[in-house]
A and B are shown apart, each in its own frame.
Chain A
Amino acid sequence: MSATLSPGTPAPPFRLRTLHGDEAGVGSAATGPATLLFFFKHDCPTCDFVAPLVGQLSQRLGDEGLRSVAVSQSDSAASAAFAAKHALEIPVALDEELSASEAYAFDSVPCLVLVSGDGRVLRAFQGFGREDFFALVADAARTCGAAVPSLERPGERWPENRPGCASRVHDPEVAQRLAVRRGAAQLSARRVHIPVADDPFEFFAALGIDDGLPVVPPTEARVVRMLEGTKRSPSEVVALVPPNLAPATVEKIAINAVMAGCRPEYLRIVIAALEAACTDEFNLHGVLATTYFPTPVIVVNGPIRHEIGINCAGNVFGQGFRANATIGRAVQLVVRNVGGGRPGEVDMATLGQPGKYTCCIGENEEESPWEPLHVERGFRREQNTVTLFAGEAPRAILDQTSRSARSLATSMGLCLESVAHPKFHGYGEVLLVVCPEHCRTLEADGWSKADLRRRIQEATSRPLGQCLPDAECAEGLPLQALPSDLMGQDGRPRPEILALPLPKFRRDEDILIVVAGARAGKFSAVLGGWVGGKMGSVAVTREIGA
């Protein structure tokens, strides 16, 4: 017997429409000394057996104050036929939506519940038991201050026990519907009705809540299912999303994750990515608003990559992998729909790039000869993390002939020098994605990430004078960016300063290194960053929570 039906517990209140059109149930107000509830299904043989007994009990104790209510799990037509078959003169309440049945939490019908005048369960049982029924009759009579009626006719002996039938709450499709109803009750988002004449996908496009590609309609059932992907409360605010600094609750993130096509197990990665993106350090507002190219690039580390199928290998920046495609997309949809960041409005990108639909990869930790990105950044290998980096689209680093680490690292440096503009030295962060074949070359010579960074900086070093604007090319390091102690009286850098070698990157550690891609192919990639430091964006790593 469930805890709900234990003697002494408060009987859940309910009011349901009856066959006669009025209402019946159990309320918080006292309604006589006792109420007998008879839950039934029209096609349950044991309910057929019990119904006349309930009718007789009602006739014998009704005048003494016993209220009786039959509660049907069947539709109104079947319920009416059942009542007529048994000449039930008590109200028959219709519980087709199973709200009362779910509240009383019984597993089978018939279920008899005797409720006291002050709304507490006196006695309850499921199916039929002869002794149980005798005890219930005695309790009812005592509560009403009446003599105990004898309902078993002379010569008749009821069966000791008769099992009931499963309550409809356990029908598979009903159980799912009830789970959605329970879950949906927690959801606070505005409900939007798609007009009958509208194609749902055209409707979303007309509302402007998609990213140009069709989205999955975020129905209550889908959002409830998506929320199973996290232990966090739907109402918890995860982040304030730029540009409007609107609160993104777990529920809102789940809605957009449904639209993106995520599976529930991806949700906590989307949440972690938004936590990282909405930090002051990452500066999502700047990343969104700039006329430049960056998008939030999501790099996933840890065992979760394989648990949910994040691609770390071949075609890692390309199509074909649901987790990669939808996790990044969900983040972008939240920025658009919750934060209000849309192209042509706050998003002022001149050209943009395909990664603004989605850009999410897993690091190929298994092919890497080094510590993975998240371990370098202070996490344990077994922790699951996301690293958000404000990155351009990947550009190729082709080197199919280097057989030494030094030669390969030199190639990489020469390619990296062209990030943004070859004369822009003292640059901020970049993301270098080293393919497995290139890893093997570096590993063969025992090179670490530090060795690779050092050689890249050497290979990209140019005299400062070559990085300044000149008659041939007006682009370059602005003079006003140089420290004043390097400048001469004429407002130009002192001659000896012009010869100083200036590497491409401000610091060696600005070169973020991950391993990804297929085992075949000597092509790595670089994703240039945006403005670095406090004015711009720096990469942020967050642990993926529950």
Chain B
Amino acid sequence: MSDSDRVILDPTAERSPLRRRLSARGARLRGPIGLVDIAKARGDVFLDELEVRLRLRLPGEQILRLRKPTFTKPTPPSLRDEIAQRCRVVIQALAD
């Protein structure tokens, strides 16, 4: 696809920005569940505890641990793509 094919004209009345809709919330929590550590101190401890509780409550659901290189910068595109490809639900922690 050329660069010009990736630019489209807004079909709306432009009274608000075009935003992606939030994905529909499911009735219950289903995996794969991504636990994303934003790399702040001891955020991994919080996620460890969360993982234990999720495994107890949701046996059989897949839980993935992912980690940002640093909390000071946005999630790298490669990690964002991995999250989008591999996870149904994401829990990102832990900010202070």
Which residues of chain B (1-40) have a CB below 8 Å from chain A? 1, 4-15, 18-21
Quick one: given A207-B20, A219-B4, A219-B5, are A191 and B10 in contact (CB under 8 Å)?
A: yes
A473 at the interface (CB under 8 A from B): no
A414 to B9, CA, bound (A): 50
Q: Are A207 and B9 in contact (CB under 8 A)?
A: no
Q: List residues of chain A with CB within 8 A of the CB of B11.
A: 189, 209, 218, 252, 255-256, 259, 333, 337-338
Q: List residues of chain A with CB within 8 A of the CB of B10.
A: 189-192, 255
Chain B, residue nearest A253 (CB): B11
Which residues of chain A (329-346) have a CB below 8 Å from chain B? 333, 337-340
Partner of B9, one of A220, A244, A246: A220
A221 to B7, CA, bound (A): 10
Quick one: given A207-B18, A209-B18, are A194 and B6 in contact (CB under 8 Å)?
A: yes
A340 to B14, CA, bound (A): 11
Q: List residues of chain A with CB within 8 A of the CB of B14.
A: 189-190
Chain B, residue nearest A241 (CB): B13
Q: Are B9 and A191 in contact (CB under 8 A)?
A: yes
Determine how close the nearest CB of chain B comes to the CB of A145; give it in whole angstroms. Answer: 49
Q: Are B9 and A193 in contact (CB under 8 A)?
A: no
Q: Are B13 and A192 in contact (CB under 8 A)?
A: no
Q: Are B77 and A219 in contact (CB under 8 A)?
A: no
B49 at the interface (CB under 8 A from A): no
A187 at the interface (CB under 8 A from B): yes
Q: List residues of chain A with CB within 8 A of the CB of B6.
A: 193-194, 196, 200
Determine how close the nearest CB of chain B comes to the CB of A215; give it in whole angstroms. Answer: 9
A298 at the interface (CB under 8 A from B): no
Determine how close the nearest CB of chain A comes to the CB of B88; give it in whole angstroms. Answer: 16
Determine how close the nearest CB of chain A comes to the CB of B75; give it in whole angstroms. Answer: 13
A223 at the interface (CB under 8 A from B): yes
A342 to B49, CA, bound (A): 43
A241 to B19, CA, bound (A): 21
The CB with the most chain A CB atoms within 10 A, among B1, B9, B14, B81, is that of B9
Determine how close the nearest CB of chain A comes to the CB of B78; give it in whole angstroms. Answer: 10
A306 to B15, CA, bound (A): 39
A266 to B14, CA, bound (A): 25
The CB with the most chain B CB atoms within 10 A, among A194, A207, A223, A340, is that of A207
A206 at the interface (CB under 8 A from B): yes
A185 at the interface (CB under 8 A from B): no
Determine how close the nearest CB of chain A comes to the CB of B27; give it in whole angstroms. Answer: 18
A423 to B14, CA, bound (A): 46
Q: Are A206 and B13 in contact (CB under 8 A)?
A: no
Q: Are B9 and A192 in contact (CB under 8 A)?
A: yes
Chain A, residue nearest B17 (CB): A190
A476 at the interface (CB under 8 A from B): no
Q: Are B9 and A206 in contact (CB under 8 A)?
A: no
Q: List residues of chain A with CB within 8 A of the CB of B18.
A: 190, 192, 207, 209
Q: List residues of chain B with CB within 8 A of the CB of A191.
A: 7-10
Partner of A218, one of B8, B19, B81: B8
Q: Are A197 and B13 in contact (CB under 8 A)?
A: no
A217 at the interface (CB under 8 A from B): yes
A197 to B21, CA, bound (A): 17
Q: Are B19 and A207 in contact (CB under 8 A)?
A: yes
Q: List residues of chain A with CB within 8 A of the CB of B4.
A: 219-221
A333 to B12, CA, bound (A): 9
Q: Are A255 and B9 in contact (CB under 8 A)?
A: yes
The CB with the most chain A CB atoms within 10 A, among B7, B8, B10, B15, is that of B8
Q: Are A208 and B21 in contact (CB under 8 A)?
A: yes
A95 to B48, CA, bound (A): 60
Q: Are B8 and A219 in contact (CB under 8 A)?
A: yes
A207 to B61, CA, bound (A): 29
Chain B, residue nearest A340 (CB): B13
Which residues of chain A (194-232) have a CB below 8 Å from chain B? 194, 196-197, 200, 206-209, 217-221, 223
Chain A, residue nearest B21 (CB): A208
A247 at the interface (CB under 8 A from B): yes
Q: List residues of chain B with CB within 8 A of the CB of A220.
A: 4, 7, 9
A208 to B6, CA, bound (A): 18
Determine how close the nearest CB of chain B comes to the CB of A249; give it in whole angstroms. Answer: 10
Q: List residues of chain A with CB within 8 A of the CB of B21.
A: 206-208
Which 8 pairs of residues, A with B, have the shortest CB-CB distance?
Answer: A246-B13, A190-B10, A189-B9, A206-B20, A337-B11, A255-B11, A194-B6, A337-B12
Q: Which residues does B use to contact A, with CB under 8 Å?
A: 1, 4-15, 18-21, 77, 80-81
**What are 5 pairs between A and B in contact, CB < 8 Å?**
A192-B18, A220-B9, A246-B15, A337-B12, A339-B13
